[in-house]
Amino acid sequence: MPVPRSAVDDVRPLSFREPEEVLDEDKLYTVYEVARLLQGLEPDADLDRATEDVLLDWAIPWMVVNREALVFAEPEADDEPGRYGLA
């Protein structure tokens, strides 16, 4: 349900970091690790499932917008996630 803007104390501009500011050029990351890095967390930070789902809601569109700056590596196994890094 929408809330009145006046009910919120802190309204800031929406901004996204560039891939080079988030990812190390010598590493490949899962989408889950990218999601953590975008929030300033360590890639292996322990998160509950609900928090991880929210972070993915931010990470996936960021990756799509920045697709030209990213590369993809096939998963090592069918039950493993793919890995992403800087182009």
Number of residues that this document lists for the chain: 87
Residue 71 pairs with which residues in a beta bridge? Answer: 85
pLDDT of residue 6: 93
Flag whether 75 is in a domain: yes
Flag whether 11 is in a domain: no
Q: For the whole model, what pTM was predicted? A: 0.84
Q: Pick the closest to residue 60 from 27, 82, 76 (CA basis).
A: 82
Flag whether 39 is in a domain: yes
Flag whether 38 is in a domain: yes
CA distance 52 to 45: 10
CA distance 43 to 37: 6
CA atoms within 13 A on the CB side of 67: 4
Flag whether 35 is in a domain: yes
Flag whether 8 is in a domain: no
Flag whether 1 is in a domain: no
Q: Residue 54: which domain range?
A: 19-86
- What 3-state DSSP class applies to 70? strand
Q: Pick the closest to residue 55 from 71, 72, 69, 36 (CA basis).
A: 36
Give the confidence band of 20 by pLDDT, cuts at 50, 70, 90.
Answer: very high
Flag whether 73 is in a domain: yes
The count of structural domains within the chain is: 1
pLDDT digits over 51-69, tens only? Answer: 999 999 999 999 999 999 9
